[in-house]
Amino acid sequence: MASDNKSALLRRQRANEHLNSPLLQPMARDDKDLSYDGVQARLDERIIDAAAAALDDGQTHYVDVPGIAPLRAAVAEHLRDSAAGHYQESNIVITAGMQEARFLSMQMIGENFNSIALPAALDPGARKALGTRERQPSFLPVAPARGYLPSVDAIAQAAADGCRLFYLESPARLSGAVYTAAEVAAISQIAADNDAAVIWDQGLAPWVAGAYASLAALDSDCARTAAIGELASGMGLASWFIGYIAAPARWIAALQSQKQIMAICTSTAAQYAALGASEIYSELHAPRLSALGALRADLAASAAALGIAVVPGAAQNILCLQVTAAQRETISAAGFAYADGSHFGASEVVRLAVNDAAAAALGALT
Amino acid sequence: MKKKKPSGTSLLYQLIGEARGYDDAIVLGRGDPDFDTPPHIVAAAKRAMVEHYQDHSPPQGLLALRQAIAERVKRVNNIDVDPETEVVVTNGGQEALFLMVLAVIAPGDEMIVPEPNYNTYADSLAFAGGIKAEVQTYAESDFRADPAAVRAAITDKTRALLLVSPNNPAASVISPADMREMLEIASEHDLMILADDIYDLFVYDDFEHISPASLPGAKERTLTLNALSKSYSMTGWRLGWIVGPADLMARVTELKAAISGGTSVISQHAGIAALTGPQDAVEMMAEAYRRRRRLVLDALDAMGVRYGMPQGGQFVFADIGFTGLDSAEVAQRMVSEQHVLAYPGSAFSKDRKDYLRMTFLQPEAQLREGLRRMKIVIDKIVAGK
Ligand SMILES: Cc1ncc(COP(=O)(O)O)c(C=O)c1O
């Protein structure tokens, strides 16, 4: 029985270019999958114990919409301690992973603005989240030399043109490039001067070697910056889908209300696991970061030896390379999957997760 | 922005917040079963934390879970689906609900919603820019959604028909004959059917649940949601699903990827254990709900409270109009004076100010005590105090 109604709705959705952007998963499909941007890591027994103890204690029921109080407090504290925001527990909404954080923040904060400006190259998940409803995006120009971060001038120009909501990634999800402290200060000033708001994806910040400048750290009143990211990144919880939004108080009610509408709350076990992870995070994170740093330096050297340009980036868990079509084919033919720059908006590059398999993928090019 | 008196979901959260402040509170409000998740399911989750935490799940979910879901909907609902292309795993029934609405409703589209109904449908419609076309149901006829009224509500903008059976909060079950007529109407007017089967294992007396998608010719236009939350006491795991025809499910998959990306693999492994493991805990809980329903109905009868006979689900939608007070006020007094939480009908539908929704998701002793305290408040109100 043919349905015109169904055909029409299928046609409409198939034509929705943003919605149909591919989605990159936070974890690897197999040993040769280098397309993810999470950090594969062993799940520590203490984290398992924390989640298991909560389940044994009867924590198998709905919990508060924005998340369990101790986890929200731990997230706020962690952001304060890592100079990534001045948020309090009440500013935090726990999400079912990074993509839900993108969707909720873009859609609900976006309701207060006529338009939203995004980097012309960014995680395809951001376009996808945007595509669920008609929104008016504009795209900020980017260039490989600056790791695909829109320049401060481009942001200032968009603000001058009337844009009052920005979605920015630092580190960039494609290259790992970060804004410098001076650039972050300039962006903060632009936002203040124009009464503009920024959704700031700082999910890859834990993997930056050295100092990281968060826009949220300059927003001392938590007035205009909503920071989003993965929770317990690199703690073996990627497949548990757990993330956060840290937002100004004026948007919290709308975020919570939509979170209730779309999910009621986030998985209880995942929240207790993330809480457990927060207690041992500093112990586990530093060695993981330095191991990634060493690996990435080797990979960058191998790429350079092959004459492949490495796009500048500070996040140690990913490597963005300008490769030829022939080199891509060789990598694919050897069975490796990479994140295709064209899905971000930069067809000249690929992104590899930094791990031992990435060395083998580059080895295939020699 | 103007400060409004809390209504709908925000009113509920205010009442919940107050009840939480009392150590002796009895919660007959939230639809959260009192039973903890059965131990063999918890054990499977713990195993998954060791063995499967690096599993890669595509947005639509692990294939093993989708297979278990396909078997379940065949066995229980007589719906045939291909686990490869016709099942999407979701963060609970709630995400499934939101996705179904987003998948079929564009701005300006109308969806027919029998009222009263689960309030998230209205909220999701609002998000999608859709319009709710209400079809009223009444306690006198046990909240039956009358196909004739549905037919009368159709306009040239109608795109979808919502069928929640057993219904929340009205606890009505759509009879097989009515269901066939609903399908006829949907076919005649080329409407999509959104079916919510989340309470399908809780059907009382001689009532019979039927999934619209099981009827000949229905599958192509029907999306059906379900979840493990209510039937397996797994509300905290956030695990549900949608099944439907492959073409629509491809769109649902895209939307699922867009709004949350994936579903916790630990919850998914718990779900596999729930669906494929022993089912005696489910039967034990369903039996407990049968007993408790009787207990609540007897207590309401003793208070002189009328209600539509709950044919299924986990609640009674009780008419307290005879008290002369709006149920929001009654609910407020019940919480403040006797620490008993029930949900005012206005949280479900603006026209149901005379109703209270009471769940029977508490042990019998608690239920009895809650009803005893409720009677104190009702008696006081009636006595003009
Ligand atoms: C009719 C109905 N559908 C869906 C849901 C969502 O349930 P959950 O997300 O907990 O699976 C509920 C919850 O109360 C409900 O009553």
**HEC states along A191-212?**
HHHCCCEEEEECCCHHHECCCC
Q: Are A320 and A342 in contact (CB under 8 A)?
A: no
Contacts of B93 (CB under 8 A, 6+ apart): B196, B198, B225, B226, B227, B229, B240
Q: Are A135 and A167 in contact (CB under 8 A)?
A: no
Using the beta-carbon criterion (under 8 Å), do A6 and B221 form an inter-chain contact? yes
Positions of chain B with pLDDT lower than 70, given as ranges: 1-8
Residue-wise pLDDT tens digits, B303-319: 999 999 999 999 999 99
Using the beta-carbon criterion (under 8 Å), do A268 and B106 form an inter-chain contact? no
Q: Which value, in Å, is the radius of gyration of the alpha carbons in chain B? A: 21
Let me know whether B165 and B53 are in one domain: yes
- Mean pLDDT value across residues A6-19: 92
Tell me what pLDDT residue B8 has: 65
Residue-wise pLDDT tens digits, A101-147: 999 999 999 999 999 999 999 999 999 999 999 778 999 999 999 99
Instruction: Establish whether residue B101 lines the binding site of ligand 1, counting it when its CB lies within 6 angstroms of any ligand atom.
Output: no
Return mean pLDDT, chain B.
Answer: 95
Report the candidate in B231, B207, B229, B369 with the shortest Cα–Cα distance to residue B295: B369
Residue-wise pLDDT tens digits, B67-79: 999 999 999 999 9
Let me know whether B168 and B299 are in one domain: no
Let me know whether B291 and B350 are in one domain: yes
Break chain A into its structural domains and give their ranges: 15-42+282-363, 45-280
In this structure, is residue B2 part of a structural domain?
A: no
Measure B186 CA to ligand 1 centroid, in angstroms: 24
Let me know whether B205 and B271 are in one domain: yes
> H or E element: which one contains A225?
strand A225-230
Contacts of A305 (CB under 8 A, 6+ apart): none
- Residues of A with Cβ-Cβ distance to B234 under 8 angstroms: 60
Q: B352-363 burial, b for 16+ CB within 10 Å, e for fewer?
A: bbbbbbbbbbbe
| pLDDT band at residue A1 using 50, 70 and 90 as cut-offs | low
Same fold, A15-42+282-363 and A45-280: no
Using the beta-carbon criterion (under 8 Å), do B91 and A267 form an inter-chain contact? yes
Residue-wise pLDDT tens digits, A37-77: 989 899 999 999 999 999 999 999 999 999 999 999 999 99
- Residues of B with Cβ-Cβ distance to A6 under 8 angstroms: 192, 220-221, 247-248
- Using the predicted structure, report yes or no on whether residue A359 has a pLDDT greater than 50: yes
Sort A360 into a burial class: Cβ within 10 Å, 0-12 / 13-18 / 19+: middle
- B328: tokens are 């929001």
Could you tell me where the DSSP H helices lie in B78-212?
Answer: 92-104, 120-128, 147-152, 176-188
Q: Are A99 and A228 in contact (CB under 8 A)?
A: no
A45-280: what fold? Aspartate Aminotransferase; domain 2 (3.40.640)
Instruction: Establish whether residue B116 lines the binding site of ligand 1, counting it when its CB lies within 6 angstroms of any ligand atom.
Output: no
Residue type at position A12:
R
Residue B345's domain comprises 8-30+281-382
In this structure, is residue B210 part of a structural domain?
A: yes
Let me know whether B264 and B310 are in one domain: no
Tell me what pLDDT residue A136 has: 80
Using the beta-carbon criterion (under 8 Å), do B258 and A262 form an inter-chain contact? no
Instruction: Establish whether residue B94 lines the binding site of ligand 1, counting it when its CB lies within 6 angstroms of any ligand atom.
Output: yes
In this structure, is residue B200 part of a structural domain?
A: yes
Using the beta-carbon criterion (under 8 Å), do B94 and A264 form an inter-chain contact? yes
Q: pTM here? A: 0.97
Q: How far is B229 from chain A (nearest CA, A)?
A: 9
Of B37, B248, B261, the CB nearest to A97: B261
Tell me what pLDDT residue B3 has: 44
Let me know whether B301 and B378 are in one domain: yes
Tell me what pLDDT residue B346 has: 86
The CATH code of the domain that includes B113 is 3.40.640.10
B267 to chain A: closest CA residue: A267
The CATH code of the domain that includes B302 is 3.90.1150.10
Report the candidate in A10, A244, A258, A19 with the shortest Cα–Cα distance to residue A137: A19
Report the candidate in A284, A285, A366, A355 with the shortest Cα–Cα distance to residue A330: A366
| DSSP result, B153-178 | T--TTEEEEEEESS-TTT-----HHH
Instruction: Establish whether residue B165 lines the binding site of ligand 1, counting it when its CB lies within 6 angstroms of any ligand atom.
Output: no
B17 inside 8 A of chain A by CB: no
CB < 8 Å from A in window 221-280 of B: 221, 233-238, 247-248, 251, 254-255, 257-267
Mutation for A interface: B40, B53, B125, B267, most A CBs within 10 A = B53
| Domain A15-42+282-363 listed as CATH 3.90.1150.10 | yes
Of B56, B120, B192, the CB nearest to A6: B192
Residue whose pair of structure tokens reads 């409803």 in the numeric block: A133
Tell me what pLDDT residue B385 has: 81
Of B239, B254, B276, which closes a domain?
B276
- ipTM tops the 0.95 cut: yes
- A220: tokens are 């001392």
Residue-wise pLDDT tens digits, B80-100: 999 999 999 999 999 999 999
Task: Provide the domain count of chain B.
Answer: 2
The atom of ligand 1 lying closest to the CA of A62 is 10
Using the beta-carbon criterion (under 8 Å), do B50 and A48 form an inter-chain contact? yes
Q: What angle do CA A186, A191, A194 make, to 5 degrees?
A: 120
In this structure, is residue B3 part of a structural domain?
A: no
In this structure, is residue B339 part of a structural domain?
A: yes
